[in-house]
């Protein structure tokens, strides 16, 4: 894997945009879209991106579940308070 491909991976994980990642990695602005597309089809480039995206997806799921749990707890606490007021 080339240094540009490594930088492409880092940039893609940052912006989730292949054209922008290619430009930021130092590829030609005129060819960035095509090179971004080609890089995303290369297994050696795509594998670390997929791994990062899976980790990110799991983290987002965990955060959403935690927020949901917190929201439900707050909801039930409010219900309990309302019941005691009556």
CATH number of the domain at 74, please. 1.10.10.1400
How confident is the model at residue 68, as a pLDDT?
75
How confident is the model at residue 14, as a pLDDT?
96
Q: At 8, list the tokens.
A: 């492409």
Number of residues that this document lists for the chain: 86
How confident is the model at residue 85, as a pLDDT?
60
Q: Secondary structure of 5-32 in the HEC alphabet?
A: HHHHHHHHHHHCCHHHHHHHCCCCCCCH
Question: Do 5 and 39 contact (CB within 8 A), yes or no?
Answer: yes
Question: Do 25 and 4 contact (CB within 8 A), yes or no?
Answer: yes
Read off the pTM.
0.75
Query: Per the structure, how many domains does the chain have?
Result: 1
DSSP 41: T
36: domain range? 3-85
What is the mean pLDDT, run by run of 10 residues, along the chain of 86 residues? Answer: 96 97 97 97 98 92 78 71 64
């Amino acid at each position: 894997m080339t240094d540009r491909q490594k930088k492409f991976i880092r940039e893609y994980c940052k912006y989730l945009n292949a054209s922008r990642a290619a430009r930021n990695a130092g590829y030609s602005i005129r060819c960035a879209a095509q090179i971004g597309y080609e890089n995303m089809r290369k297994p050696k480039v795509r594998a670390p991106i997929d791994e990062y995206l899976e980790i990110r997806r799991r983290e987002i799921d965990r955060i959403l579940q935690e927020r949901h749990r917190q929201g439900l707890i707050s909801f039930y606490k409010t219900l309990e308070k309302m019941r005691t007021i009556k």
